[in-house]
Amino acid sequence: MTMPENQHPLPSDSSLRRRDFLGRTAGVAAGAVLLDAVGAQSAPAAESLREGPVRIDTGLVSGVPAAAAGVTVFKGIPYAATTAGRNRWRPPQPAPRWKGVRRADTFGDAPPQASTTLTMSEDCLNLNVWTGARSGRERRPVYVWLYGGGFSAGTGSDPSFDGSVLAAKGIVVVTINYRLGALGFLATPELSAEDPHGVSGNYGLLDQIAALKWVRRNIAAFGGDARRVTVGGQSAGAGSTDMLSMSPLATGLFRRSVAESQVRHPRDPELRYLGVSLRNMETALEQGPAYAASKGASTLAELRALPWQDFTDGASLKDETVDTKSVAKPPLFRPVVDGRVLPAGYQRTYEARAQNDVWYLAGNNLDESGAVPETAFAYWREAGYPDRPGAPPVHVTLDDYVSAARRKFDAMADEFLTLYPAGTDDEAALASNDAVRDNSRVSTYLWGREWTKGADRPVYTYFWTHRPPGSDHDIRGAYHGSEIVYFFGNLYPDTQPWTDQDREIADTLSSYLANYVSTGDPNGRGLPNWPAYRPGSPTVMEIGEHYGPMRVASPEKVDFWRRYFATQDAW
């Protein structure tokens, strides 16, 4: 969890200008293409959005200069009412109107969570907009970002998500808050009984949908095009993107999806505890009253009378009911297959061809899901398994590796150990890394085969391989979430020892993303070619340390994982 902006100031305008974010690798060409595409080059001269207020459906709002020249940011705009009091565990309600001009110069409160640094409250349904448009007459493509954090942590004001560079490349960037933990995902029979649709448990997803509806109504005032909206996120944010891409309530609200990490085949056991995990309604309705009882509440009225501080424990609570084929367990509070927001899980949705027909860009990282840098083997042998909800097991000793393989693969364990052999602790750690990385790449490849049966839009997949500099380099490597600041082109914090290579990677990845949000194709002049996904070609685009297609695994290993997934229950 990163610190709030006031404790880690963003780079100055001048330092961002020195990054030359439109001039590296594909910058000038891609940037020019984007500006032509959104009409900025031909837009008539008009008063800057920075100089005058913007009218949205709840009143007038004014922005402030962002961390890049020519970009304005509007912080903390309410998109829905407070979730306190009677609105706790209700779908998001309309935001109140205001008189005069609201100065959007301060980020809004974060959702309640376990944090000692964030300003939090239940009046947290706010969003932030970065735009380089000169007036509301422009129509630039829009990128809506959903944070990760296991559905129990995160905020749209995290400085890693600063949208200045992407906005300078022609994109209107929106980051949002949504409810977390029990406040976002509690389900009980009493809550379902008071709901007009007879369901409960998906308040956080309903927040995201409400934010997308706000974008549809208001983004034109910021120079955005409501017809060209992309939704993206990482980890639980990627899970949210996956779920919105399946939700009928989100149909038509966006055209493209970006899922950074953990898009998996529906029969991959890893899906059961990572940030894309789902709950079934029956289990959620049993867990909710048990959780309420742990708070000393037996009725919904008693639950609503408790202070929000009593509901910030989501990051420490596991769902022990899920067999993940490992020691890992998912967070207790996460989205629910409720028959309305999520009519079905992944497999049934794909089989019914019921997903929204959106473009997709999805990928995984070199050192995540239990893979760790070779320089960290000794560290993990001493530290042991990271025993927290959603955390993957790390296998760096021979005994642990073999016992985990027998637990996960059962009758196929001997075949697995033949494909990924080990005789010492170091060999076991290396074999575990190989297996984890093959698993993630093959799983996403096989997911693509299922997804594209019911969606006609292009899919692009990636594998992130660059290990950022600094204190995390040897221990965490290309860790879970390390790609985010590069895609945003926002190398945060600026005190980290970023190199020219890092700045070039950030320009390349942010250009890929800006192109994709604009056109549905990440490619542009000067960029290494990123081929679209093809079901018959088991390859993935490496990005970061190198650029170009790489095979997801050797043919015999692809066949092994395909057969193994076929033996598992669908999620």
Q: Measured between alpha carbons, how far is 568 from 89 in angstroms, rounded to an integer?
A: 34
Which residues, 6 or more positions from 401, have their beta carbon under 8 angstroms from its beta carbon? 395, 422, 428, 429, 431, 432
From the candidates 235, 245, 443, 482, give the one annotated as an active-site residue: 235
Q: Please check whether residue 120 is in contact with residue 155, taking contact to mean a CB–CB distance below 8 angstroms.
A: no
**Rounded CA separation 547/530 (Å):** 8
What are the structure tokens assigned to 60, written together?
Answer: 């007038």
Amino acid at 88: R
* CA-to-CA separations, 117 to 3, 179, 471, in angstroms, rounded: 7, 18, 22
Q: Which residues lie across from 540 on neighbouring strands?
A: 550
Please give the helix or strand (H or E) that residue 403 lies within, else none: helix 398-409
SS3 191: helix
Q: For 487, list phi and psi in degrees, rounded to 5.
A: -65, -35
* DSSP single-letter state for residue 8: S
Rounded Cα gap, residues 79 and 214, in angstroms: 6
* C-alpha–C-alpha distance, residues 335 and 538, integer Å: 31
E-strand stretches of 405-536: 459-464
Q: What is the largest CA-CA distance in the chain?
A: 72
Encoding tokens for residue 230?
Answer: 């992309």
- Asked if residue 281 lies in contact with residue 339, where contact means CB atoms within 8 angstroms, the answer is yes
Residue 235 bears catalytic tag: yes
- Contact status, residue 388 vs residue 114, Cβ threshold 8 Å: no
The string of DSSP codes covering 468-501 is -SSTTTTTTSSBTTTTHHHHTT----TTS---HH
Supply the DSSP string of 326-372, one letter for each residue. Answer: SS---BSS--EE-SSSSSS-HHHHHHTT-S---EEEEEEETB-TT--
**Which residues are identified as catalytic?**
235
